[in-house]
Amino acid sequence: MPKLNILPQRLATSIAEPIGRSVGSVGITPNMVSMAGFAGNVLAGWLITRDALLPAGIVFLFFSALDLVDGAVARATGKASDYGAVLDAVLDRASEVVVLAACAWYFASRGETVQCGVTYCAMVGSVAVSYMRARAEVAGLSMREGIFRRQERVALLVIGLLFNGLTVVMWILAILANLTALQRFVLIARGLQAPEATN
């Protein structure tokens, strides 16, 4: 499978460093940024359950963007740590699940059971993509490849919320997230079998 990345993993250095220094200079730590991002995504989820999709999309976009800032702050202030990396990863996963669960609630409240089921499939795929990366790293492999990583999933959800296209977006997300999980599984399998092939 192709190792295709649609969106960049992080901000360009020329943009990230000034942002990181500016935010860090006022005493804001990377962990504060991570927790603020999670709180904002919980708010977005609540707005979705209230049928306020447009405000939810705006809130989701803003607070998801903080995921690009916490790393920049950590690097600019020299406060990068293993604990911070784990906290950020856990809160990212929790944020995504909260928002997708809110979407499932939204569909269920409208009696749209098929869309609700598709949303749960999207949730499984999203968690599986992240889990594949975690397992790859445990096995000593780098795993940042994927046709539909968190950046792409967030961007697609934002589009669905802002432009009232949540049903179509959820089908795309469910399909591509699960395909990405499968893609990563194949890449992990190849990576783990490579040493055996040389023996």
Residues annotated catalytic, as ranges: 92
C-alpha pair distances (Å), 146 with each of 103, 140, 194: 24, 18, 20
Q: Is 14 exposed, middle or buried (0-12, 13-18, 19+ CB in 10 A)?
A: exposed
Contact assessment for residue 77 and residue 18, using Cβ atoms and an 8 Å cutoff: no
Residue 159, both tokens: 């589009």
Contact assessment for residue 162 and residue 131, using Cβ atoms and an 8 Å cutoff: no
Of 22, 38, 37, residue with least CA distance to 77: 22
